[in-house]
Amino acid sequence: MPRDTLTREQIVRTAIELLDAEGLDGLNMRSLGKRLDAAATAMYWHVENKDNLVRLATDEAWGEVDLPDIDALDWRTAAETMATEMYEMISRHAWMVQVLSGYLVYGPNKSRYDDRVLALFEKAGFDETEADQATATIFMFVLGNAVGAAATISLARRLNRGSGDAETRIAETMAQATEVAMQFPTLCKRIEKSTAGTGYNSAPDSSFAFGLATLLDGLADRLDGRK
């Protein structure tokens, strides 16, 4: 595809597809050019460099987050909606965990999210400093919960590059880890519950919901304490 027929939007969308498939380490201009049937040099013309492309792709992903109308909802429902939307977006794009941990990301979609969440906490009754702290706390909680899913995807991708069946190798590694953990009584009980279909490993989304509810309970208590 000639350079003058490419658009930045095409490159960014294709970069997200490549990132979803190969992760951050798999993103390079040559691989991107192959997907677009274009020379690698054409990528640089539109996006300058890899760091800028990652920033653009990240902000595009933030655009997938549906923001609630904070005037139509109570603050807690709005906060829960925004946190869940962010969690689901990062879960779809596991590479975001690595990006948010190592890149300075910005753009209109990310700023739109930040502006809305700050506004909802201020509307709830928090002062500016507290709104900043509440926003950061929720953000880090969501990001931390997304690490598990991202790690699983990264592990599977890495094992797929090696020899043998990736699922078999993961199962073997998990069996070895379980054997070690079973030597400790509290871990042993948790593993037995997980095997029975209960516990954290069987329902990570439930653990996310529990943790988020606990955080919001704490924020609500701070507001109630002022009454």
pLDDT, residue 9, reads 95
Q: Quick check: is 72 in a domain?
A: yes
Q: Quick check: is 85 in a domain?
A: yes
The verdict on 220 and 124 lying in the same domain is: yes
Residues 6+ apart with CB under 8 A from 150: 90, 94, 95, 96, 97, 98
How distant is the alpha carbon of residue 165 from its chain centre? 27
Q: Quick check: is 134 in a domain?
A: yes
The verdict on 31 and 94 lying in the same domain is: no
- Identify the segments of the chain with pLDDT beneath 70: 1-4, 161-164, 166, 195-205, 227
Q: Which domain holds residue 78?
A: 67-166+206-225
Do the beta carbons of residue 81 and residue 73 sit within 8 Å? yes
pLDDT, residue 150, reads 79
pLDDT, residue 225, reads 78
pLDDT, residue 156, reads 73
CATH number, domain of 137, equals: 1.10.357.10
The verdict on 136 and 221 lying in the same domain is: yes
Q: What is the pTM of this model?
A: 0.84
The verdict on 51 and 72 lying in the same domain is: no
pLDDT, residue 148, reads 80
Question: Tokens 């702290």 — which residue?
Answer: 133
- Tens digit of pLDDT for each residue in 178-195? 899 999 999 898 888 776
The verdict on 161 and 133 lying in the same domain is: yes
Do the beta carbons of residue 29 and residue 43 sit within 8 Å? yes
Output the average pLDDT for the chain: 88
The verdict on 116 and 140 lying in the same domain is: yes
pLDDT, residue 206, reads 81
The verdict on 88 and 159 lying in the same domain is: yes
